[in-house]
Amino acid sequence: MPTPEVTAFRQSVVASAEMMVRSGILSASQHGNISVLLPERDQIMLTARSALANLRGDEVARLGLGGDLREGQLDPASHEIIRMHTVVYEHCPGAHAVIHTHSPYATAFAVASRPIEVCAEVLARWVGTEPIPVARYGPRGSEASVANIAAVLREHPKASALLLEHHGVLVWGENVEQATRIAMALEEGAQVTMLASALGPLRPIPGDGALGTQQRRLEFEQKGTVTAAGS
């Protein structure tokens, strides 16, 4: 029987899937996969099927970091991408959740093999202060694909997202809620960047401005919610 902790992680994955479906950031097929790293850091929970709409808790499997299935089942498309998730955990100590989608606007940049410049404030606030890099193409989940992802992670240790050339998007965060927010911000930023490019040359936010934007968000988050006296 699953422990309460494992059940809670399953529920967090289901909540993430529901939020992304409701937000409309997914492709028409609702394709995507979500994983979370368990506290022991030797196991993950991974969505068991490749469509995120109407995901149930029993459709989130438990695996070892080596890919061995320990609880539940995986459809072929989910089995295929295990290493796409675990390579992030191996290279990013702060990552505790990974999300992959085919979000249309961000994926358009991936298909065009173009990094997404930080022109929109939403990217600076949530995704990072540097352009979102592109990992060169390899068949999904293959050794070549994983090696290309690892190369980007080594080159961009502060990144929280990358584009999978000709394929889609990969993001990660300290927890599944943060990773979900990053996935949504990335798609929003990609959309407005693409729309703005039709109006003329893009002007990325200067590095110090992008860093200040991120720091300001963190500063106000640390202060927490403000409540009026007597409320």
Q: What are 144-185's pLDDT values in tens digits?
A: 999 999 999 999 999 999 999 999 999 999 999 999 999 999
pTM for this prediction: 0.95
Query: Which residues contact residue 213 at a Cβ distance below 8 angstroms, ignoring those fewer than 6 apart?
Result: 121, 124, 125, 205
Please give the Cα distance from 212 to 221 (Å, whole number). Answer: 14
Please give the Cα distance from 155 to 149 (Å, whole number). Answer: 10
C-beta separation of 2 from 10 below 8 A = yes
CB atoms within 10 A of CB 211: 15
**In the CATH hierarchy, which top-level class contains the domain 4-220?**
alpha beta
For residues 70-75, give the mean pLDDT.
94
C-beta separation of 110 from 165 below 8 A = yes
Predicted pLDDT of residue 31: 96
Q: Could you read off the pLDDT of 96-119 as tens digits, one per residue?
A: 999 999 999 999 999 999 999 999
Q: Could you read off the pLDDT of 10-27 as tens digits, one per residue?
A: 999 999 999 999 999 999
C-beta separation of 170 from 160 below 8 A = no
Please give the Cα distance from 13 to 156 (Å, whole number). Answer: 26
Q: Can you tell me which residue has the tokens 């994926």?
A: 107
Predicted pLDDT of residue 1: 54
Beta strands 161-164 and 134-135 are parallel
Specify the amino acid at residue 48: A
- The pLDDT-based confidence of 41 (bands split at 50, 70, 90) is confident
What token pair was written down for 22?
């409701």
